[in-house]
Amino acid sequence: MPQLRRRLLGLCPVPVLLAVLDGWLTLYGQRPAFWAGDHSQVNEWTPGFHILLTHGPIAFIAGLAVWVLAFVGMILLLPPTLALAVCLGFTLGHAIGAFSWIVYYPNAPQLYLVMIVCAAVGLALCIRWCWRCEPQDDAPMGARLPVALRWGMVMLLCGVVAYFLWPRHL
């Protein structure tokens, strides 16, 4: 039982949260005509979810729940490497799906970066501590450097990344 709990807590929270975010944004992104009852006015590119939306938001939510439970089931039943691959694929897929909606909002790049950073940190924490995944003889390059110098270099590199991602008017 502890192994089931570790896998559930280690590999499932982040992809499930991103699937819920993607589903919420999908519903939020539907046209006013859809919400007025014309369910033929669906705004969704994924074929299965498009069909579910034509039957209304309740069908979509039920289908999303089945979809999520199918992936959670695979993560719990597959061998470790395949379970991790499904977790990462499910996470990436819903991150891209959520971005496809976020891109239409003001400050979209910043929102997407926050989402990606939260997903990356969440996956790292869950996989590392809940799933108890330990690196094998892995030391950062420069581990022999003074701590302040190494972290100063990390901050400088983060500054380079931030320069490219900082919003500008083109």
For residue 87, being part of any structural domain is answered with yes
For residue 103, the model assigns a pLDDT of 83
What confidence score (pLDDT) does residue 1 get? Answer: 57
Domain assignment of residue 59, yes or no:
yes
160 within domain boundaries = no
Task: Tell me how far apart the alpha carbons of residues 103 and 22 are, in angstroms, rounded to a whole number.
Answer: 12
Q: Which residue stretches of the chain have pLDDT < 70?
A: 1, 134-140, 165, 167-170
Q: Is residue 169 part of a domain?
A: no
48 half-sphere exposure, CB direction, 13 A CA radius: 7
In a domain, 114, yes or no: yes
Q: What is the pLDDT of residue 139?
A: 66
Amino acid at 60: F
Q: 18 in a domain, yes or no?
A: yes
> What is the number of domains present in the chain?
1
Q: Given this model, what pLDDT does residue 61 score?
A: 98
How far apart are alpha carbons 116 and 18 in whole angstroms? 10
Residue 62 domain flag: yes
User: What's the pTM?
Assistant: 0.83
Q: What is the tens place of the pLDDT at every residue in 7-48?
A: 888 899 999 999 999 999 999 999 999 999 999 999 998 999
List the one residue out of 123, 122, 87, 115 whose CA is nearest residue 99. 115
Please give the pLDDT value at position 106.
76
pLDDT at 147: 87
First to last CA, the chain: 55
What is the per-residue pLDDT for 13? Answer: 94
CB 91 within 8 A of CB 10: no
- Is there a contact between 54 and 38 (Cβ–Cβ < 8 Å)? no
Query: From CA 77, how far away is CA 74, in angstroms rounded?
Result: 5
| Element (DSSP H or E) covering residue 41 | none
Q: Is residue 167 part of a domain?
A: no
Domain extent, residue 131, equals 2-136
